[in-house]
Amino acid sequence: MKIALLGYGKMGQIIEKFALERGHEIVLKISIDNQEELTRQNLKAADVAIDFSTPDSVLSNIDACFDANVPVVVGTTGWYGKLQEVKNDCDSSNNTLLYGSNFSIGVNLFFKLNQTLAKLMNNYPAYEVQVEEIHHTQKLDSPSGTAITLAEGILDNVERKSEWLNEEVGKDVEVFPKTDQLLIESHRIENIPGTHTVIYSSEVDDIEIKHTAHSRAGFALGAVVAAEWVKDKKGFFSITDIFE
Residue of 17, 24, 136, 139 marked catalytic: 139
Catalytic: 139?
Answer: yes
User: Of 24, 29, 135, 187, which one is the catalytic site residue?
Assistant: 135
Could you tell me the end-to-end alpha-carbon distance of the chain, in angstroms, rounded to an integer?
Answer: 24
Is the preceding omega at residue 193 within 30 degrees of 0, hence cis? no
The answer to whether 131 and 227 are in contact (CB under 8 A) is no
Q: Determine the Cα–Cα distance for residues 150 and 86; give it in Å rounded to an integer.
A: 22
Catalytic, 187? Answer no
Q: What sign does the dihedral 97-103-108-111 (CA atoms) show?
A: negative
Asked whether the CA dihedral 157, 158, 162, 164 is positive or negative, the reply is negative
Rounded to an integer, what distance in angstroms lies between the CA atom of residue 55 and that of residue 53?
7
From 44, 42, 47, 40, select the one nearest 29 (Cα to Cα).
42
Catalytic residue set: 135, 139
